Structure 1
């Protein structure tokens, strides 16, 4: 398909539909075409034109009288209908890259010449345009609310299961919102769509960060910054910069981490209505950066600032939704982690343990992540039995979430355990590890 052609994107809800996912997996294109028609308003004549098929062939597939098995046809369907490659067992398509995410005005595609004398010729572009009118979207305030609700649901599912499985649906919804931004919208709707797109771009970046796919994460974080800047949402820009600071900490780039969080604090303090909860969260991200640099005094100062801001929180504060996760258990566990990054295990251990007891049980990734932090802290204090017991408790939540960050912490604990590998508690832990998470230990040496 020519690069100048930009087909209508499929709705995110369709890409996330279990029936659609299964149909793509088994390449049941009759079901795929039916769902594309009923849920995306793309009629058989449009399907035929976009996938370079004849209408009669599309009709036969939808009626169950023909199957499509040739790889070149399957690739044309993926590209013509904008179905992500992995859903059909294909390599990533060229149009799936983040660089195409800028909200620029869409240019009309040039229709290919058709042989109108043939009885199986595809209808002209005027017919497609008429049919497409039935699929146009007129976003309203309720549309924005529905989109924001879906984002909240994505974050809950990300905490419970990780973002890998969510990513195609989130990217699809992001493209859908960016498509709406290319059309004429009222100023309030346009403002809201930019905010939603910024949130979706940040969430996509986060799923890549959690998978330790840092280059892709930064691309989406940068996109989120650009979208938030369009509506001068300085609070959200601070939020994205805080994410980039945390990623730089993981990449062992503490100078970059400090630069990002300093910029985030500048944005937050320069904006009106910044709440103490936002400032408290940002101060702890600053503490992470200082701790990674090994700057003890600056780390302690940032921690003190964070706790001071947290004490100023009131229930009436107009906190943005993206910071409500930063509650007291999160404050405590992050404080413990900051001390742990400094090597102050004796201070970190009781804090992380206390927060872990109070943490929301539905946040599987958080529980696994923090339990492994606690286990490593206990091990550094010489408490081998405690450490192995805590790490064993982390295995169940770790097995239920797809998170390379959690897997990385698990491997780090396993490496830390090397001097004690033959101790009975370590042998028991490893046996349980190989039972619950065999994929994580496939390359690990046996004792």
Structure 2
């Protein structure tokens, strides 16, 4: 059937991430498939519904329209609308399946021999730059839908033969887009999906040959365990990022040092945290103006103070934490809703460190209730939950503490 349709064993092998020789042996009946993982890989690669093989429904089945129906999958506008619709209700199972299908389609093209084409590369590079400026007041799920829709447009470019320099540009853009998608998923609280997108970003960055991009992916990935209760793992990733970034004053090197400082502070390694903070400050002072813009891919002074705020708050150095909180809010009128909220929660945590838990709860409640419902999830909720859990249980009967608990439960 494959030969009649003009589909080669190489093409099947690429789709199923198998060796062509293995595909040939299976097709001719000279080799058998007994491992369930291989059956699932073939089913996913060839888009065989799970029910036909006695498997559970595959993640892509509910959203196959995004990539398999010609009149939708080949139409960028309809693909974007479908993604927006899937994400409108949040990170539901169908929405996550749509994201997985989009990422997997591109991820399978990232291998040392995969070809590519530069036709629309300039437009996609411009799109990646635009997404780097953050949410711009839009809901994270809206940004996520648009970003993934553009990300899927990279796949056909990655499968057309091209010169090595153009291939490197494509992989660099792929790494940036996958990394920024991972950032939004992290902000929305989807840790597992975020890590998967960071893995794709790392593969693309490695293939592009851009060591700073690869280090940036590691530093941003470190913020997933950092913000979700695994500071030791975060410190290890941040140190890998610092090593990859080198000693030059780059945005990535500065970010990696700041993230390492936060991780060490959370892990009660105050000496290492302060050493990393000093390194981050020294790099920030020497950072060239070209890398100081306020984007996800660069490192602004405002972003620096956001990191310092959390690090010093965790260390209990409330004076320096408040200085950074104030400076971060002063530096940019464009400060995102999520960032402002995190700074307010840091300020509340400073009040708790100084012995005023009631004021800490009141401030956190005010910060949370001022948010639209779609923002009151993920990272913001986790940071507020951390504050609540830091309050000794013998204070949990107090009215302000109970009110914070009720807001978090809602």
TM-score between both structures, scaled by the size of structure 1: 0.63
- Any conservation in 1 of the 2:117–2:160 contact (CA below 8 Å)? no
Structure-1 residue corresponding to 2:211: 234
CA deviations 1:353-405 (Å, max 9, x no partner) are 44234443451110111111211221231345753564314532464636411
Q: Go from structure 1 to structure 2 and tell me whether the alpha carbon gap of 1:17 and 1:212 turns closer, same or farther (over 3 Å shift).
A: closer
Question: How much does 1:179 deviate?
Answer: 2.5
How far residue 176 of structure 1 moved from its aligned partner, in angstroms, is: 2.0
Q: Deviations over 1:334-360 (max 9, x none)?
A: 112112222333442343244234443
**SS of the residue 1:166 aligns to:** helix
The equivalent of 2:338 in structure 1 is 365
Alignment of 1:172-251 (within 5 A): 172-251=149-228
Return the alpha-carbon distance in structure 1 between the equivalents of residues 44 and 227 of structure 2: 40
Residues 275-354 of structure 1 correspond to what in structure 2 (within 5 A)?
275-315=249-289, 322-324=296-298, 326-354=299-327
Cα distance, 1:329–1:2 mapped onto 2, change above 3 Å: closer
User: Gapped runs of 5+ residues in structure 1?
Assistant: 26-83, 107-136, 443-447
Whole-Å Cα distance in 1 between the matches of residues 102 and 386 of structure 2?
A: 32
Partner of 1:163: 140
**8 Å CA contact retained: 2:183, 2:194:** yes
Q: Distance in 1 between matches of 2:77 and 2:105?
A: 21
Matches of residues 374-393 of structure 1 in structure 2 within 5 Å?
374-383=347-356, 386-387=359-360, 390-391=363-364, 392-393=366-367
Q: Which moved more, 1:338-347 or 1:202-211?
A: 338-347
CA drift at 1:301: 0.9
Counterpart of 1:269 (choices 239, 242, 246) is: 246
C-alpha deviation, 1:239, in angstroms: 0.4
Q: Residues 291 and 341 of structure 1 are in contact (CA less than 8 Å); yes or no, is this contact kept in structure 2?
A: yes
| Residue 15 (1) aligns with residue 79 (2) | yes
Shift in Å, 1:244: 1.8
How many Å separate the matches in 2 of 1:294 and 1:405?
21
Aligned-pair CA distance for 1:306: 0.9
Asked if the contact 1:241/1:264 (under 8 Å) is kept, the reply is: yes
Match of residue 4 from structure 1 = 46
In 1, the alpha carbon distance for the partners of 2:128 and 2:75 equals 15
Instruction: Tell me, yes or no, if the aligned pair for 2:117 and 2:159 is still in contact at 8 Å.
Output: no
Which secondary structure state, in structure 2, belongs to the residue aligned with residue 368 of structure 1? helix
Comparing 5-14 and 235-244, the one that deviates more: 5-14
Q: Which has the higher contact order (CA 8 A, sep 6+)?
A: 1
Deviations 1:200-249 (A, max 9, x none): 11122222222222222111111111111112110000001001211122
Larger radius of gyration: 1
- Cα separation, partners in 2 of 1:22 and 1:249, compared to 1, 3 Å: closer
Can you list the C-alpha shifts for 1:251-297, whole angstroms capped at 9, x where unaligned? 33333222211211121118xxx544332222111111221221111
SS in structure 1 of the partner of residue 174 of structure 2: helix
**1:371/1:188 CA distance change after superposition, 3 Å:** same
Asked if 1 retains the 8 angstrom alpha-carbon contact of 2:125 and 2:173, the reply is yes
RMSD of aligned C-alpha atoms? 3.9
User: Aligned partners of 2:229 and 2:99: how far apart in 1?
Assistant: 31
Displacement, 1:299? 0.9
- Whole-angstrom CA distance in 2 between matches of 1:306 and 1:176: 37
Determine which of 81, 93, 96 is the counterpart of 2:101. 96
Report the CA distance between 1:194 and its aligned residue.
1.1
Partner secondary structure for residue 189 of structure 2: coil
How many Å separate the matches in 1 of 2:313 and 2:358? 19
Contact 2:132 2:296 in 1 (8 A): no
Which stretch has the larger CA shift, 245-254 or 345-354?
Answer: 345-354
Change over 3 Å in CA distance of 1:104–1:331 after alignment to 2 = closer
Number of residue equivalences: 336
Following the alignment from structure 1 to structure 2, what is the Cα–Cα distance between the partners of residues 406 and 189? 39
Structure 2 unaligned spans of 5+:
1-42, 48-66
